């Protein structure tokens, strides 16, 4: 795909607006940089524009901090501005808060539900899932490798090392189990292995 389009620019503006003053967990970096990095990863792998735009918007519903907007409002806005296909791709990689019966789910249930829905997600949504998790893993790994106190990387975000590693391994294995064999899977798998063997410091203290 081309390196720039009005649609991508529009999506970046939308993400910046709805993530507003939000920062990355444990960091001072604006949250929208995550959306931009996911887009860069997808573009690097030659994904279609629709997938790249979905990558930019993928956290807009789940993590928006814009005052006055409900999830339903964001459903409507994304659908109206970017199309129904885009909305469905974003929803496929958005953690639901309630199940099909409207019952509120626990955090563990939300994770299980997310993984289960990858079975029916489009390839575009699976690309976004892989790129999103790759950037998260890469950020943690880079910070662990450049600090002399690895435990602080886990402590600053309130991360439990074992459960974090389990989650990224589970995502990779689930994508593989549902038949997603895109080239990004090799890189994601290698990065998860690297994270599992990265320095821990006293990270066990937060488990």
Q: What is the pLDDT of residue 135?
A: 95
How far apart are alpha carbons 171 and 159 in whole angstroms? 17
Is CATH 3.40.50.300 the right assignment for the domain spanning 6-206? no
Rounded distance, CA 49 to CA 26, Å? Answer: 31
The candidate with the shortest Cα–Cα distance to 2, out of 70, 49, 69, 61, is: 49
Least confident window among 118-127, 147-156, 198-207: 198-207
Binning pLDDT at 50, 70 and 90, where does residue 159 land?
Answer: low
pLDDT of the residue at 203: 46
Q: What is the CA radius of gyration of the chain?
A: 17
Distance set, CA 49 to CA 10, 12, 162 (Å): 12, 13, 36
Contact partners, residue 53, CB within 8 Å, separation at least 6: 7, 8, 11, 39, 82, 86
Distance CA(113)–CA(96), nearest Å, equals: 8
pLDDT of residue 130: 98
Nearest to 139 by CA among 163, 111, 168, 110: 168
Going by the DSSP 8-state scheme, the letter that residue 121 receives in this structure is S
């Amino acid at each position: 795909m081309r390196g720039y389009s009005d649609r991508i620019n529009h999506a970046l503006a939308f993400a910046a607006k709805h993530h507003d003053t939000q920062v990355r967990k444990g960091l001072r970096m604006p949250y929208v940089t995550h959306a931009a990095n996911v887009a860069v990863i997808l573009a690097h792998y030659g994904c279609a524009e629709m997938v790249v735009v979905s990558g930019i918007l993928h956290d807009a519903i789940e993590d928006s901090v814009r005052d006055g907007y409900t999830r339903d409002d964001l459903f409507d806005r994304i659908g109206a501005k970017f199309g129904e296909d885009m909305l469905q791709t974003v929803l496929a990689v958005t953690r639901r808060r309630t199940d099909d019966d409207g019952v509120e789910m626990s955090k563990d249930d939300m994770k299980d539900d997310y993984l289960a829905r990858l079975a029916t997600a489009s390839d575009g949504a699976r690309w976004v899932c892989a790129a999103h998790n790759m950037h998260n893993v890469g950020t943690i790994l880079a910070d662990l490798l450049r600090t002399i106190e690895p435990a602080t990387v886990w402590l600053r975000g309130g991360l439990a090392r074992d459960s974090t590693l389990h989650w990224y391994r589970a995502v990779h294995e689930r994508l593989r189990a549902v038949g997603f064999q895109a080239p990004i899977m090799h890189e994601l798998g290698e990065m998860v292995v690297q994270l599992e063997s990265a320095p821990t410091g006293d990270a066990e203290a937060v488990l």
